[in-house]
Amino acid sequence: MLGLLGEQGSDFAYKVDYANDIVTIISVVCTVAIVGAMLYFAVKYRQRDGVDHETPAIEGNNALEVIWTVFPTLVCIWVAWLGYDSFVDLRTPPPGAMEVNVTGRKWAWDFQYKNGKRTTSELVVPVGEPVKLIMTSKDVLHSFFVPVMRTKMDVIPGRYTHEWFRPIKTGDFQVFCTEYCGNEHSKMLARLKVLPKAEFERWLADDSEERKLAAMKPSDRGKELYVAKQCVTCHSLDGSPRVGPSWLKLFGKQGQLASGDKYTADENYIRESILNPQAKTVAGYPAMGMPSYQGQLSDDDLTGIIEFIKTIDGSQKIEVAPAAPPKKADAALASMTPAERGKALVADSSNMCLTCHSLDGSKVVGPSFKGLWGRKEKLSDGSEVQVDAAYIKESVWKPAAKIVAGYGPAMPAMYEGKLTDENLNDIIEYLKTLQ
């Protein structure tokens, strides 16, 4: 009705919205009527000289008493019924719902399916089927909130809680943690991916990735992740300088932090630097240079990367395969509009745009894409620039050329050759839609 709660993604969302709308409308009407009457009488019966101020003694009015007791009681019962009715829906998963185990931890969500498949920060479900989440926490209280599904439940260490929903549309939706759980609480996010049923079945049955990883030596897994997670963009293996320190002979190295303290690159230091890069920045490197990998890497992944770093001791030259080319079939891209192609490029995780640029106006490592097109930006050298096609292309290909005031030189110079002029024109068309 009022659309206050946004997009509706589950079959009970409309009920929750209806109850919310009714309560909102009643509240607004009562507030306006009561405060309005109060102001009206305050003005009308204000003190004026020569007027008798004595209030008449009114002895009651049975008709009025009955009306203003019975009518609000009926309204309250109706509102309670609306709430109860949708609450029962929310708390009663239909028998046969697909179960997914959810574990909250500081600060990420892990999911496990009945066939053993695991994901982190990404919950994939089929459209039209009821999904029941069985949830627990490894450490502190969290809360699993899927706004588009209108469902939310606390996640508690040492016990199981549950919530369920039946998605009515496909798409990517946001999941939040809504229980303050520590300093990275606001980053404890996940994606809910609703797929057509056949596509979901294919995704669920595909365990090639897991088997490959499980069969690998930790250091090989780390080597693979070095490319797959784009570490390669900022950290070289041969000692050459990039945005971040080279990994050559990194393990065990001692040096100075930007804070002036000393560091030793042991397992704990490397782990912390991957999960919370801003905690200990090495002197001479940009403070905001690295995005956090919190929630994107499992403990096995982290161990793998650390083991890989240990192998880069200079005793042998290490070759890595180049990053995989974009997977999107050209045919599918050709049938899209330029703005759709741009959206796909921005969303493609191998391009990493969304690691540092938000779509909703919030400040991450770089400026948000929302409202970017046509905006006047103040640069760090004090000059101003209007965001147009030429500026965007320059900023992507030569990120260091013009830095917006308030941001660090954090963007990797990896896009020249990776994104063509055509790609950028598509991305620009997409940016124009983000006003």
Q: Using CB under 6 A, which of the segments 84-92, 176-184, 300-308, 377-385 binds ligand CUA?
A: 176-184
- Residue 181 touching ligand CUA (CB under 6 A): yes
**Shortest Cβ 8–ligand CUA spacing (Å):** 25
Out of 89, 163, 179, 224, point to the residue binding ligand CUA (CB under 6 A): 179
Q: Give whichever of 159 and 217 is closer to ligand CUA, judged by the CB atom.
A: 159
Q: Give whichever of 107 and 430 is closer to ligand CUA, judged by the CB atom.
A: 107
**Shortest Cβ 153–ligand CUA spacing (Å):** 13
Q: Give whichever of 104 and 399 is closer to ligand CUA, judged by the CB atom.
A: 104
**Which value, to the nearest 10 degrees, does the dihedral of the CA atoms of residues 268, 271, 277, 278 take?**
-30
- Residue 84 touching ligand CUA (CB under 6 A): no
Residues 95-114 that bind ligand CUA (CB under 6 A): 104, 107
- Residue 123 touching ligand CUA (CB under 6 A): no
Number of residues that bind ligand CUA (CB under 6 A): 9
- Residue 81 touching ligand CUA (CB under 6 A): no
- Residue 180 touching ligand CUA (CB under 6 A): yes
Out of 175, 177, 190, 192, point to the residue binding ligand CUA (CB under 6 A): 177
**Shortest Cβ 158–ligand CUA spacing (Å):** 16
From residue 333 to residue 372, the character string flagging contacts with ligand CUA as x (rule: CB under 6 A) and all else as - is: ----------------------------------------
Angstrom distance (rounded) from CA 31 to CA 2: 18
Angstrom distance (rounded) from CA 199 to CA 214: 24
Q: Using CB under 6 A, which of the segments 37-45, 47-55, 178-186, 417-425 binds ligand CUA?
A: 178-186
Q: Using CB under 6 A, which of the segments 11-19, 55-63, 175-183, 237-245 binds ligand CUA?
A: 175-183
Angstrom distance (rounded) from CA 281 to CA 276: 10
Q: Give whichever of 140 and 323 is closer to ligand CUA, judged by the CB atom.
A: 140
Q: Give whichever of 107 and 369 is closer to ligand CUA, judged by the CB atom.
A: 107
- Residue 183 touching ligand CUA (CB under 6 A): no
Out of 119, 133, 142, 222, point to the residue binding ligand CUA (CB under 6 A): 142
Burial (CB < 10 A; 0-12, 13-18, 19+), residue 341, is buried
**Token output for 333:** 């891209």
- Residue 185 touching ligand CUA (CB under 6 A): yes
**Shortest Cβ 359–ligand CUA spacing (Å):** 22
From residue 27 to residue 66, the character string flagging contacts with ligand CUA as x (rule: CB under 6 A) and all else as - is: ----------------------------------------
Residues 267-326 that bind ligand CUA (CB under 6 A): none
Out of 146, 188, 345, 424, point to the residue binding ligand CUA (CB under 6 A): 188
Name every residue whose Cβ is closer than 8 Å to that of residue 328 and which is 6 or more positions away in sequence: 344, 348
Q: Give whichever of 152 and 249 is closer to ligand CUA, judged by the CB atom.
A: 152
**Shortest Cβ 299–ligand CUA spacing (Å):** 18
**Residues near ligand CUA (CB under 6 A):** 104, 107, 142, 177, 179-181, 185, 188
